[in-house]
C-alpha cells in the first residue's frame, strides 16, 4: 500500500471500494459530456469513466494521515451492514467490504486512531464511524476524537438538512449520533488546528457546513476536499455542480477557491471519489485548469 510524504505528514489511501458509480447525466445534470470529453480526452480514460456502461468510476476511500506520532482518518466511507433500502442508496445497502482489513494493511488498528475528521455528514463519508455490536451501533474508533464541523452538525441535528435531504436522516441516526452519545465528538470551526500544520476550513455549498482539511508546511501542502469535487470533470469545468449540492453558487465559489489555492501553492489535491490514481495536482491552463494525476506528475 503506497504512501506519500509531504512535510511531516505521511498520507495513505484506505479503500472501501472502487466501482462504477453514477451515470454522468445523473450526477452532473448540467454537463455536456460529449463536448467536454472531446476537448479533454483524459476525462474519458477508463480509470475515470466506463464508456460501455456510461458510468463514472467512483472511489470511496478514507485518507489516513500520520503526523508526529498521531493518526488521523479523514472521511469514513459507507460502512458495512447498514440498511440503505431507498432506491437512491441501493449501492450502499448492507455492504460487506474489507475496509478494516485495508486499514490494517496500512498498519493501523481502529483503537490506534487519534482523530476522525468528517468533511460532511453524508452517507459515504461517515459510515465507518460506527460498527454493529449486537443490536447497537458503537464507535469503530473507540479512542479517537471525532471531529465534525459545528455548522454541519447543526445543519443535520435541528437544522434544515433533514428537510433538504431526508434520505440521509437514517445515516445520521446510525453513523453520527452514536458517537455523540459516546462522548467522543468535538465540534470544530473554520481555522481550527488539529495537529501542527493541519487545519480545517469552511468549504460550503455541497452542504451548508461542508469543510476541507488543509496541510501546509515549508516542504509542501495538500488539501482533502470531500465532495467539493466528485470527479476530475469539475477541474476542467468548475461551474458544474453535482445533483447533491445544496447551494449551487456557493459550491462553485468554493470549488474555484480550492482550485486557485492548489494551483498557486502546488498543493496536492486529495478528493474522496476520484478514480485511480485518486489524487493529483491542479495546473493553470490559460483561464482554466488542468489535472495532473499524482502517478504521472513530474516532480
Number of independent structural domains in the chain: 1
C-alpha cell at 238: 468548475
| pLDDT confidence of residue 296 | 61
Query: For the purposes of burial, counting CB atoms within 10 Å of the CB of 187, is it exposed (0-12), middle (13-18) or buried (19 or more)?
Result: middle
Give the closest residue to 42 by CA, choosing from 226, 280, 265.
280
CA dihedral 26, 19, 127, 124 (to 10 degrees): -30
Inter-CA distances, 81 with 65, 136, 170, Å: 26, 12, 13
How does pLDDT run across 51-82, given as a tens digit for each residue? 999 999 999 999 999 999 999 999 999 999 99
Q: What is the mean pLDDT of residues 135-151?
A: 98
Q: Is a pLDDT exceeding 70 seen at residue 212?
A: yes
- Split at pLDDT 50, 70, 90, the class of 18 is very high
pTM: 0.96
How does pLDDT run across 219-250, given as a tens digit for each residue? 999 999 999 999 999 999 999 999 999 999 99
CATH number at residue 191: 3.60.15.10
Q: What is the mean pLDDT of residues 122-142?
A: 97
Distance from C-alpha of 23 to C-alpha of 8, rounded to nearest angstrom = 39
Mean pLDDT score across all residues of the chain: 96
Range of the domain at 286: 3-296
Amino acid at each position: 500500500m503506497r504512501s506519500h510524504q509531504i512535510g511531516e505528514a505521511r498520507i495513505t489511501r484506505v479503500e472501501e471500494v472502487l466501482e462504477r458509480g453514477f451515470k454522468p447525466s445523473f450526477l452532473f445534470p448540467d454537463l455536456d459530456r460529449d463536448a467536454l470529453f472531446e476537448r479533454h480526452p483524459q476525462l474519458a480514460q477508463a480509470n475515470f469513466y466506463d464508456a460501455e456502461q456510461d458510468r463514472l468510476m467512483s472511489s470511496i476511500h478514507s485518507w489516513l494521515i500520520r503526523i508526529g506520532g498521531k493518526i488521523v482518518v479523514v472521511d469514513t466511507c459507507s460502512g458495512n451492514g447498514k440498511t440503505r433500502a431507498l432506491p437512491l442508496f441501493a449501492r450502499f445497502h448492507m455492504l460487506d467490504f474489507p475496509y478494516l482489513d485495508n486499514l490494517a494493511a496500512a498498519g493501523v488498528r481502529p483503537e490506534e486512531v487519534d482523530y476522525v475528521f468528517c468533511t460532511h455528514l453524508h452517507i459515504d463519508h461517515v459510515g465507518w464511524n460506527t460498527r454493529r455490536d449486537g443490536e447497537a451501533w458503537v464507535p469503530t474508533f473507540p479512542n479517537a476524537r471525532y471531529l465534525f464541523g459545528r455548522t454541519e452538525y447543526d445543519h443535520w441535528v435541528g437544522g434544515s438538512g433533514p428537510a433538504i435531504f431526508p434520505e440521509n436522516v437514517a445515516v445520521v441516526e446510525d453513523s453520527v449520533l452514536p458517537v455523540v452519545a459516546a462522548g467522543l465528538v468535538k465540534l470544530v470551526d473554520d481555522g481550527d488546528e488539529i495537529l501542527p500544520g493541519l487545519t480545517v476550513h469552511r468549504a460550503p455549498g455541497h452542504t451548508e457546513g461542508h469543510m476541507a482539511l488543509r496541510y501546509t508546511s515549508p516542504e509542501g501542502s495538500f488539501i482533502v476536499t470531500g465532495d467539493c469535487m466528485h470527479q476530475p470533470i469539475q477541474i476542467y469545468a468548475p461551474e458544474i455542480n453535482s445533483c447533491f449540492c445544496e447551494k449551487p453558487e456557493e459550491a462553485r465559489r468554493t470549488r474555484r477557491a480550492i482550485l486557485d489555492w492548489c494551483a498557486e501553492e502546488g498543493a496536492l489535491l486529495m478528493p474522496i471519489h476520484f478514480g485511480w490514481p485518486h489524487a493529483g495536482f491542479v495546473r493553470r491552463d490559460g483561464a482554466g485548469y488542468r489535472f495532473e494525476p499524482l502517478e504521472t506528475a513530474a516532480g
